[in-house]
């Protein structure tokens, strides 16, 4: 009885990591071409960094609905996107509240030497929560290692006037379907090799 049970356990122990590897591979390849991640201002996510620098952002507060948010104490405030793999575009959806009269700007770093961002306006919301989606092309953003820096700028704001409730990122690349799958996987492998060496 026990030797047979031992054999079953041993087989399961060997199969389990292979299954996990397959699952990780599937997540990495993302055959649908889309990977969605959310940073809810509370739980840290691997694909989206916290808002920083720390001294320009409040601690995490909870509103009456139980949702978390952080306010800007000063600006600019940044966050990083860390896509795992090669993606073409990212749709960044921000849940924000802007109690000021001037728009808050959100943009991605496009020139590190000149410290230039391609700013997009997030209009005033009159103190109400609003969602806004902006699209960024990774070919136009400047990578810093394996991360891309995005930021918020609100030069006319006062402390606690601007709040961020959620940052959602949808990383997009062409869908993998039967035709050309092997070529795309090979391209991805070559891209990784180029990044490493």
Partner 1 sequence: MTAKDFSYKVSKDIFVVSSITLAVFGGLEWFEPGFVSYYISFNWLLIIPVIFGTVTVILDKNKPSEK
Which residues lie near partner 1 (CB under 8 A)?
A: 2-3, 5-6, 9-10, 13-14, 16-17, 20-21, 24, 27-28, 46-47, 82, 84-85, 146, 192, 196
Minimum distance, C-beta of residue 27 to partner 1, in the bound complex (Å): 6
Among 100, 105, 89, smallest CA distance to 148 is for: 89
User: Of 30 and 110, which CB lies nearer to partner 1 in the complex structure?
Assistant: 30
User: Of 50 and 56, which CB lies nearer to partner 1 in the complex structure?
Assistant: 50
User: Of 28 and 121, which CB lies nearer to partner 1 in the complex structure?
Assistant: 28
Minimum distance, C-beta of residue 168 to partner 1, in the bound complex (Å): 16
Minimum distance, C-beta of residue 30 to partner 1, in the bound complex (Å): 12
User: Of 24 and 159, which CB lies nearer to partner 1 in the complex structure?
Assistant: 24
Q: How does 157-186 read in b/e, with b if 16+ C-beta sit within 10 Å?
A: beeebbbbbbbbbbbbbeebeeeeeeebee
Minimum distance, C-beta of residue 84 to partner 1, in the bound complex (Å): 4
User: Of 3 and 66, which CB lies nearer to partner 1 in the complex structure?
Assistant: 3
Minimum distance, C-beta of residue 82 to partner 1, in the bound complex (Å): 7
Q: Give the pair of three-digit tokens for residue 46.
A: 């691997």
Inter-residue contact 66 to 73 (CB < 8 Å): no
Q: How does 111-127 read in b/e, with b if 16+ C-beta sit within 10 Å?
A: eeeeeebbbbebebbee
Instruction: Give the span between the Cα atoms of 194 and 143, in whole angstroms.
Output: 14
């Amino acid at each position: 009885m026990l030797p047979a049970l031992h054999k079953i356990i041993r087989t399961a122990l060997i199969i389990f990591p292979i299954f996990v590897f397959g699952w990780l591979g599937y997540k990495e390849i993302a055959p649908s071409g889309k990977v969605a991640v959310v940073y809810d201002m509370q739980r840290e996510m691997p694909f989206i960094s916290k808002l920083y620098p720390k001294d320009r952002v409040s601690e995490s507060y909870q509103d009456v609905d139980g949702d978390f948010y952080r306010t800007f104490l000063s600006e600019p405030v940044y966050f990083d996107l860390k896509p795992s793999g090669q993606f073409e575009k990212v749709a960044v959806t921000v849940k924000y509240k802007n109690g000021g009269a001037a728009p808050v700007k959100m943009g991605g770093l496009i020139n590190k030497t000149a410290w230039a961002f391609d700013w997009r306006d997030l209009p005033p919301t009159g103190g109400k929560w609003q969602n806004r989606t902006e699209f960024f092309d990774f070919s136009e953003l400047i990578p810093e290692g394996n991360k891309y820096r995005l930021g918020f700028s609100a030069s006319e704001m006062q402390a606690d006037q601007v709040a961020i409730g959620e940052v959602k990122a949808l990383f997009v690349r062409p869908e993998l379907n039967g035709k050309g799958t092997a070529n795309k996987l090979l391209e991805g492998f070559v891209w990784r090799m180029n990044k490493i060496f």
